[in-house]
């Protein structure tokens, strides 16, 4: 589904758990695409075809999977990162993530091409897309969130959802750290909050007021 000129959202609609994926088309050299969080190849319980479904939906938007040039992983839980291996092998895409999640990723057989730290990430010829990477740990040690200031878009991964936050009981999780990460992100100027899962809501929160209201709700009712 097209959200903005070259920003696409793929909201997971299966029955099993899988993540939402987001794509910036033509962000890279040779009109290649950036994909954030490709999700599962096949979901673990109901065996739903996550990656095939993502590719089919991309195709119906006129986007070719072979044009994926870079996969950014917000973090390395399998429901976000599993399919990155396939895209790297099939389409020669590079895989990028934060170093603090690398052992988790390698233990799943993943290979890494680039490490992303907090700071600017400038993509494409003529610096077409300028992103800001935030290190946002708490759900996982190497969790990153991706901010696109020109479009006021924040891709949150599993840091925040509609009226809830990511789990902190998984290895390397910390409630205190997550709270700090969320407080930092709430200072950004955001029109589109793109969450990592469709938990009780598609996971796309539109409009500055709705985004702020969601942060306020989380700070008041969820973070203690």
Count of beta carbons in the 10 Å neighbourhood of residue 38: 31
For Zn ion, the binding residues in 70-99 under the rule CB under 5 A are 77
Q: Would you say 77 or 88 has its CB closer to Zn ion?
A: 77
Nearest to 90 by CA among 60, 54, 65, 124: 65
Q: Is residue 40 involved in binding Zn ion (CB under 5 A)?
A: no
**Shortest separation between residue 166's beta carbon and Zn ion, angstroms:** 6
d(CA 22, CA 179): 24
**Shortest separation between residue 124's beta carbon and Zn ion, angstroms:** 28
**Shortest separation between residue 107's beta carbon and Zn ion, angstroms:** 15
Nearest to 177 by CA among 100, 119, 113: 100
Q: Would you say 101 or 158 has its CB closer to Zn ion?
A: 158
**Shortest separation between residue 92's beta carbon and Zn ion, angstroms:** 26
Nearest to 61 by CA among 91, 26, 16, 109: 26
Q: Would you say 39 or 124 has its CB closer to Zn ion?
A: 39
d(CA 104, CA 68): 23
- Total binding residues for Zn ion by CB under 5 A? 2
Q: Would you say 53 or 77 has its CB closer to Zn ion?
A: 77
Q: % helix / strand / coil in the chain, to the nearest 5?
A: 30, 25, 45
Residue 129 pairs in a beta bridge with 123
For Zn ion, the binding residues in 120-159 under the rule CB under 5 A are 158
Q: Which residue is nearest to Zn ion (CB)?
A: 77
**Shortest separation between residue 142's beta carbon and Zn ion, angstroms:** 11
Residues that bind Zn ion (CB under 5 A): 77, 158
């Amino acid at each position: 589904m097209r959200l903005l000129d070259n920003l696409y959202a793929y909201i997971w609609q299966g029955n099993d758990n899988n993540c939402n994926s987001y794509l910036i088309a033509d962000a890279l050299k040779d009109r290649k695409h950036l994909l954030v969080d490709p999700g599962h190849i096949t979901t673990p319980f109901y065996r739903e075809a996550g990656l095939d479904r993502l590719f089919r939906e991309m195709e119906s938007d006129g986007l070719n999977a072979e044009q994926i040039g870079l996969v950014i992983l917000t973090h390395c839980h399998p429901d976000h990162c599993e399919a990155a291996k396939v895209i790297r092998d099939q389409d020669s895409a590079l895989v990028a993530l934060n170093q603090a999640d690398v052992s988790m990723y390698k233990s799943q057989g993943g290979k890494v091409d680039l490490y992303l730290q907090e700071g600017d990430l400038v993509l494409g010829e003529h610096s077409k897309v300028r992103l800001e990477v935030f290190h946002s740990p708490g759900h996982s040690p190497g969790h990153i969130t991706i901010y696109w200031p020109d479009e006021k878009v924040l891709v949150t991964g599993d840091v925040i959802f509609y009226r809830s936050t990511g789990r902190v009981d998984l290895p390397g999780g910390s409630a205190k750290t997550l709270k700090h990460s969320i407080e930092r992100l709430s200072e950004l100027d955001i029109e589109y909050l793109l969450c990592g899962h469709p938990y009780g809501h598609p996971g796309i929160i539109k409009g500055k007021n709705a985004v702020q209201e969601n942060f306020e709700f989380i700070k008041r009712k969820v973070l203690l």
